[in-house]
Copies of this chain bind each other. A is one copy, B any other.
């Protein structure tokens, strides 16, 4: 007998197979039992008739998430999700699960995060993680095909590259070292040995604020390109993004639909992407266009908030009148979920109000925060490049602009639909004296960076690169509100388990 995976069950139409997996739902109808089996590749409805007495009896013993092996005949059925159902003739129980803690009811986010090791089994979470895999393959594939060499840069590093405030210290045989914030400095060294290179690995920032866009442990793909200027960086960023979009849309239309992601905004994206300088972006923030967009957006959000509060009041009332335990539990869970939504909307509204009151006061020279990024990215249907940020708000290694020394040769790419920064990059300062001056401005001790400064002593070249944040990209593609679902086991402020 052949063992089949559910995703390839259609190849066995009419044949007898075994499938192996977990029971994700069950219902009864007289002399029939309907079992929904999932095996990681998909879900399949399996039908057990009373005429198969042994199987029928065994079916009744199966609890949610029990593991088992089903034998049966594959029957094509156009109404079934995978195009087939299984007419079961035998059931072998592998393990009867204890009462499964995750039900179909709404759970609070803390409960789900505490049960992340089981929550991963839900169809929405598996879809997100499969899309994550496709995004990573697409990005790596782009650089592999373009002749870049993969360089695994070190995670344990002696110093900071992106500001000492967000370093995680590690006890290295009694010596204090730090977790990598980026592979960039090491990549620069490698690109002068191997030409174009990229790294892909985990990076760490001890971000002390809770936001929807930050994890303390996140993954980045970072290319470093020899003899590059900003248009070359933009070209690679555009082409890589286009390839990611293409692969996600090609392989995950069903997954995206299942999580309610409207794919039209993704499909509309084609290069070239718009480019603004930082100065132009500041002007746009002050513009009449943005002011009227803000007013409209604020009105929308207030309408949503009112509706949400009304729902919440109803849920509170139904909790008061609930008699049975399951009714109470359901109402409580609904309340928790609505309360979270209300808090989110209140925060959004507060931010919008703050920005409107403050808009004319946004001064040239400040860094864009999440709010400004959201507002800017909402004005375009495509990813937006913003270039030439003020030197003071950017890292020491970014090349100073030759015409305007107040700004650096950098670029951020803001994803549309309000997702904000997914790529940050720059041309690197290649002159030793300018780099030393910048480090002095930042009160950095040059001693631990002598090896890095060597790259400007022995055949310095123009070069640059960027980093794409994987989790923010997953969030954007999947249309998620929070990055916490974009990585298998998220690490946040106050969240280190499981």
Contacts and interface: CB of A to CB of B under 8 A. Distances in A.
Contact of A496 (B97, B100, B144, B158): B158
B22 A488 contact: no
Given A39-B195, A117-B189, A457-B97, A136 B150 contact: yes
A451 to B, nearest CB: 4
B98 A173 contact: no
Contacts of A458: 65, 97-98, 100, 118
Interface string A54-89: 000000000001110000000000000000000000
Given A156-B491, A459-B22, A496 B172 contact: yes
A190 B196 CA distance: 34
Nearest to A24: B459
Contacts of A217: 154-156
A488 B67 contact: no
Nearest to A451: B498
Contacts of A65: 458-459
Contacts of A496: 156, 158, 172, 175, 177
A298 interface: no
Contact of A488 (B126, B151, B192): B151
Interface residues of A, number: 92
B172 A149 contact: no
A276 interface: no
B194 A94 contact: no
A230 interface: no
A254 interface: no
A117 B339 CA distance: 53
A494 B133 CA distance: 36
Nearest to A167: B171
A498 B454 CA distance: 11
A152 interface: yes
A193 B133 contact: no
A327 interface: no
A365 B83 CA distance: 53
B170 A170 contact: yes
A287 interface: no
B158 A133 contact: no
A171 B168 CA distance: 6
A95 interface: yes
A169 B171 contact: yes
A201 interface: yes
A94 B461 contact: yes
A374 interface: no
A152 B221 CA distance: 13
Interface in A213-228: 216-217, 219, 226-227
Contacts of A39: 195, 226
Given A158-B496, A170-B179, A195-B5, A153 B460 contact: no
Interface of A: 5, 20, 22-23, 39-41, 65-67, 94-95, 97-98, 100, 115-118, 120-121, 125-126, 129-130, 132-133, 136-137, 140, 144, 147, 149-156, 158, 168-173, 175, 177, 179, 186, 189-196, 201-202, 204, 206, 208, 216-217, 219, 226-227, 430, 448, 451-452, 454-462, 470, 487-489, 491, 493-494, 496-498
Given A67-B460, A173-B206, 5 more contacts: A20-B461, A66-B459, A121-B193, A170-B170, A452-B498
